[in-house]
Amino acid sequence: MPSLEQYIILSIILFLIGLFGFLSRRNLIVILISIEIMLNGLIVLFAAISHFTKDISGYIIVFFIIAMAAAEAAIGLSLVVLIYKRLRTVYSDEITNFKG
């Protein structure tokens, strides 16, 4: 059985990959997908801690995280479709409506 430390390292690596994608990509859909990768890192962390401390609460927090991810994806993707309808672009550096 792998130890808790290995699961925590895996979750931190996944979170940092998602953070790097969130900061460095220009496509709005890829930015939303990297938020999903960060949430997956959190899921691994909570499930591992719940398994190693024999406490069921971490699994329930994972359940809530998955529900929140569904709501966030619905709202975010509808905003992306709205931006594409208005401005005909999905790249974050071409949306310059609020520039003075």
Partner 1 sequence: MNWDLIIFYYLAIVMIFSSVFAIFSRHPVYTVLLVLVMIVHQAFLLLTLGAEFLTVVQIIVYAGAILVLFLFVVYLINLRKETRRNVFIRLVSLIAIVFLLFGAFLIKNLFILISLKPSFRAYLPFSIEEKSNVWWIANYLFRNYLLQFEIIGVILLVAILGAVFLIRKVKTVE
Q: Which of residues 4-43 bind partner 1 (CB under 8 A)?
A: 4-10, 12-21, 23-27, 29-30, 32-34, 36-37, 40, 43
Terminal Cα-to-Cα distance of the chain (whole angstroms): 57
- When binding is defined by CB under 8 A, the residue of 35, 42, 72, 99 that contacts partner 1 is 72
Distance of closest approach, residue 47 Cβ to partner 1, in angstroms: 5
In whole angstroms, give the CA distance from residue 54 to residue 50.
Answer: 6
Q: How many residues bind partner 1 (CB under 8 A)?
A: 74
